[in-house]
Structure 1
Amino acid sequence: MSSDAPWNWRHPGYVLVLDLVAARAGLLPPSCPPAAVEGIDRAMARLGLSNNFDAYRTRLETDPAALDDLLVELTIGETYFFRNPEHFDFVRHEVLPNLRRLRGEGHVVRAWSAGCASGEEPYSLAVLLMEEGYGERMEVRGTDVSRAALARASVASYGDWSLRGTDAGRMRPFLHPEGKRYTLAPEVRDRVHFGYLNLAEDSWPSPAHGIWGLDLIFCRNVLIYFNRGTIEAVARRLHAALAEGGVLITGPSDPPLGEYAPFETLVTDWGIAYHRPTPGDTTRLHSLRRFPAPAPTPLEPLRLEPTPAPRPPAVLPPPPPVPVTPALPAEPEGLEGAKQALARGDWHEAARLAGALVEEPGAAAVAVRALANLDPLAAVRACAEAAERHPLAVELRYLEAMLLLGLGRLQESERAVRQALYLEPSLAVAHLMLGHILRRQKDTEGARRAFRTAESLCATLPPDTPVFLADGERAGRLAQVARDERTRLEAHEETRG
């Protein structure tokens, strides 16, 4: 790793620690080296070993708890209730009806959230199963490498940040307000069992962990951290942990697993899922294209349908004689590759590529945007560090303000957006953001001025002109947004008066 690392580590000990983590836990090199440095520093400080890399590596080799603590720092436990609602819709409309057909109405559904963090995912699964009538016929498990996260999951106390998803309202009937937080009702909390598990270890599947014979596995945004060898081993164990007819759902940025284990790949509108077929069952899940596991011999025909209907060319097996496999075009590297990864939603790849270009402010902005989709706090830290390296980069100040606003840190957000406006007084989106910040701080007059300025700046441009840093939003539309915000604010003031 040390010879390939593009970042200038401030001490060689960091690289040696990460090499040890790669060997013991199968983790990839970090996509954001500054965040990795901070994480290692925090983990070392908790053990009283700050800057003593030799002693820390020895501790990691002999103390599993110390290694687990570091893994938590190097991975992101980002989650919220009903994250990626299309996955839960798929379970409702495809997985559960198929299980009823295979197992019968009295079957107890066994589900596992692998890498459950603070518990929002397995609790969402429990609520879904309750909605579908499985209240007394479910076994839901959540596992994670972070014992601190598992403790929080068991307490089941959450803030508004856990309810930010579009479908999170489904949890509201089961959440009881306690001050600024919500406590999950026992009828949901008691249906989920939590336990420690490191996916990179070969201790599972096992009845001792309850990880075996599963109907449904959610393993989302976990495999992205592993190197190829670890992914292959974990994929085989995930397949072995499924019961026949069971389904595995991974995250949108996770690597494909079809080449590592004999899964049947299910292609949906939102991506792919993995199925462990039941021998002799040729009924396919409704409305899905299936790509079965490889046939025993290259010449054996693949039965993709129970009837001999014609197949679309895209799903036919390739002809047996393939003398030459053309090379796929190389993925672009550098800033262009990072932008393409960002555009397709591959946040970790975007952060990895952009994070290597520390001297380019545009690359730093791409890295921050990617991290914002993974861990807002890490994105804030990365943005602040990048802004120190590039003090005249207005986009970094604007992104910092946006992230801080999302975290509810209004005063810090206001300071960052004013810094952006100092660098670029005509930045319309910054004036619009300032209006939102000031309104939330009860500065009605300041908010009105900010909205009016944003409206005026956009009105000077042709309506179809893209506005700088507005993610493709046009001037006419943004002017209307600012006008509506100002009008609503003034109407509210008149009503109060």
Structure 2
Amino acid sequence: MSGDSTQGWRHPGYLAVIDLVAVRAGLLPPSCPAAAMEGIDRAMARAGLSDFPAYLAQLEADIAMLDDLLVELTIGETYFFRNPEHFQFVRHQVLPDVQRRRGPAHVVRAWSAGCASGEEPYSLAVLLLEEGYGEKMEVRATDVSRAALARAQVARYGEWSLRGTEAGRMRPFLHLEGKRYTLDAQVRARVHFDYLNLADDTWPSQAHGIWGMDVIFCRNVLIYFNRSTIEAVARRLHASLADGGFLITGPSDPTLGTYAPFETLLTDWGIVYHRPAAGDASRRSFPSVPPPAPLPPLPPRVPPPVAVTPPVPAATAPPPKPTTPAALAGARRALEAGDWREAVRLAGAHPEDAEAEAVAVRALANLDALAAVRRCAEAALRHPLAAELRYLEALLLLGLGRLPESERAARQALYLEPSLAVAHLMLGHILRRLGDTTGARRAFHTAESLCASLPPETLVALGDGERAGHLAEVARAERTRLEKAREEVRE
């Protein structure tokens, strides 16, 4: 790891092992050296080696030994129907879409990439059985750990694999034998397991069954890869999808829209990637969330909470970037000068630019709040990865008193940009008004921590000129007030 600090590593041999793993498997350097060293120690002990040069030579020559090490450096955390919203998306959106395009006789093809001990692909198989696909399914499951694949094929599980809120759906297919459950043969027969290192360029491949997938689950795998490996894997995942297919990643995984020609769909719980079929109309969002109720009449203007819902026109809007069109620079000047209509006119001429759309929304909010909400929602469909548009939507909905919708938009903004301190601060106010004081305290604490980590005079992103030191104090005061109220209730 040339250029990296060696602080915390007991021996340079560990660094050599990590360097080899980065080259061979595309993994990032581990964030916790102590845990990585312990994992390497265990892998070396299983190999019967204590000498680093000998171990490195074996890793170069023996792919199975490298696979064994990779298991130690990654976390195979899984259970049945983990992240149930992903499976609901398959049930309510993917399957009807596939049936509409491919017809009722089509065999649905699903792939669990990084399947660990098998709970994820078996959950997919049970979902398809529940939906009546029976013999009209093919579920593929791959992993880099041969030991995990062996456990998955045995399909014996303990209660820990059933800890999720939706895991009870598996119980009709499980048979208690002693203290463990054995999965029913009809489910096991629906899943085909195989070894695959996603960092290798051996896929997609018809010979291995990795091609033409209607849905791919690749969750909490990409977080371990370095950027060049993520880019290559993203391209291969796109190539592995059938036209019209969907890719679902984990909530902590990096976004892939810049690495492959996916259509990026934003749901209320996160991002889904879509490979449009030829002739399909673009779908920048997917109807996984019911459309909002008709907008109510505009309420009287109420002063926003201090430093949380600042006036929408940014008095200190950032200067235009060198690549920003001259018209957008003019729109920013009009916004700063309070010439709202001119700002809307100039910025509105660039709907393809997310920054221009944000300027138009900010200006329109001073003319017609309801129109600004509609404009913001439409712009967010065109630019599903623009956190600022989701933040503005949450801000406007909060001003209209539409708290559940405001919360949803704020959480979408934070999904896209987890470090957006003003969105955490706003979420705290929303949750407090909704009666969720525990969630509000957590949001205020996160906002406080994010701002406190910056120099006090740093301008906060989307904070309209607010400094990190001041917003940290605001968040701290809000958190403290809630904590005092909780203590008073206890007394």
- Please give the TM-score of this superposition, normalised by the length of structure 2: 0.61
Paired with 1:107 and 1:477, the residues of 2 have a C-alpha distance of: 59
Paired with 1:211 and 1:26, the residues of 2 have a C-alpha distance of: 20
Shift of 1:209: 1.0
Shift of 1:15: 0.4
RMSD: 3.0
Q: Is the 8 A contact 2:93 2:288 kept in 1?
A: no
Paired with 1:205 and 1:175, the residues of 2 have a C-alpha distance of: 33
Paired with 1:10 and 1:283, the residues of 2 have a C-alpha distance of: 53
Q: Is the 8 A contact 1:26 1:230 kept in 2?
A: yes
Which amino acid is 1:158 matched to?
A: Y
Which amino acid is 1:75 matched to?
A: T
Shift of 1:27: 0.3
Q: Is the 8 A contact 2:351 2:379 kept in 1?
A: no
Q: Is the 8 A contact 2:112 2:142 kept in 1?
A: yes
For residue 36 of structure 1, what is the aligned residue in structure 2? Answer: 36
5 Å matches for 1:112-191? Answer: 112-191=111-190
For residue 332 of structure 1, what is the aligned residue in structure 2? Answer: none
Check if 1:314 corresponds to 2:313. Answer: no
Paired with 2:378 and 2:162, the residues of 1 have a C-alpha distance of: 42
Deviation string for 1:363-391 (max 9, x for gaps)?
Answer: xxxxxxxxxxxxxxxxxxxxxxxxxxxxx
SS at match of 1:154: helix
Q: Is the 8 A contact 1:2 1:15 kept in 2?
A: no
Deviation string for 1:283-308 (max 9, x for gaps)?
Answer: 7475169xxxxxxxxx9998xxxxxx
For residue 336 of structure 2, what is the aligned residue in structure 1? Answer: none
Check if 1:273 corresponds to 2:258. Answer: no
5 Å matches for 1:216-295? Answer: 216-282=215-281, 284=283, 287=287
For residue 24 of structure 2, what is the aligned residue in structure 1? Answer: 24
- Please give the TM-score of this superposition, normalised by the length of structure 1: 0.60
SS at match of 2:214: strand
Shift of 1:314: 3.2
Q: Is the 8 A contact 2:247 2:272 kept in 1?
A: yes
Shift of 1:465: 6.5
For residue 5 of structure 2, what is the aligned residue in structure 1? Answer: 5
For residue 483 of structure 2, what is the aligned residue in structure 1? Answer: 466
Q: Which runs of 5+ in 1 are unaligned?
A: 290-298, 303-308, 319-343, 350-462, 468-472, 480-497
Shift of 1:264: 0.5
For residue 45 of structure 2, what is the aligned residue in structure 1? Answer: 45
SS at match of 1:111: strand
Paired with 1:208 and 1:301, the residues of 2 have a C-alpha distance of: 45
SS at match of 2:279: coil
Q: Is the 8 A contact 1:143 1:194 kept in 2?
A: yes
Deviation string for 1:252-311 (max 9, x for gaps)?
Answer: 00000000000001100000010010010227475169xxxxxxxxx9998xxxxxx988
5 Å matches for 1:332-351? Answer: none
Shift of 1:9: 0.6
Change in CA separation of 1:109 and 1:16 when aligned onto 2, cut-off 3 Å: same
For residue 74 of structure 1, what is the aligned residue in structure 2? Answer: 73
Paired with 2:382 and 2:481, the residues of 1 have a C-alpha distance of: 45
Q: Is the 8 A contact 2:276 2:282 kept in 1?
A: no
Shift of 1:167: 0.3
Change in CA separation of 1:18 and 1:345 when aligned onto 2, cut-off 3 Å: farther
Which amino acid is 2:378 matched to?
A: P
Q: Is the 8 A contact 1:266 1:288 kept in 2?
A: no
Paired with 1:39 and 1:141, the residues of 2 have a C-alpha distance of: 29
Q: Is the 8 A contact 2:89 2:288 kept in 1?
A: no
Which amino acid is 1:275 matched to?
A: H
Change in CA separation of 1:108 and 1:58 when aligned onto 2, cut-off 3 Å: same
SS at match of 2:483: coil
Paired with 1:316 and 1:253, the residues of 2 have a C-alpha distance of: 23
**What is the count of residue pairs matched by the alignment?**
320
Shift of 1:475: 4.3
Which amino acid is 1:216 matched to?
A: V
Shift of 1:464: 8.0
Identity of aligned residues (%): 72
Q: Is the 8 A contact 1:157 1:181 kept in 2?
A: yes
Q: Is the 8 A contact 1:112 1:122 kept in 2?
A: yes
Shift of 1:315: 4.0
Paired with 1:168 and 1:129, the residues of 2 have a C-alpha distance of: 15
Which amino acid is 2:380 matched to?
A: A
Which amino acid is 2:483 matched to?
A: P
Q: Is the 8 A contact 1:212 1:240 kept in 2?
A: yes
Q: Is the 8 A contact 1:253 1:345 kept in 2?
A: no
Q: Is the 8 A contact 1:252 1:271 kept in 2?
A: yes
Shift of 1:47: 1.1
Which amino acid is 1:214 matched to?
A: M
Paired with 2:210 and 2:489, the residues of 1 have a C-alpha distance of: 52
Change in CA separation of 1:345 and 1:146 when aligned onto 2, cut-off 3 Å: farther
Change in CA separation of 1:14 and 1:132 when aligned onto 2, cut-off 3 Å: same
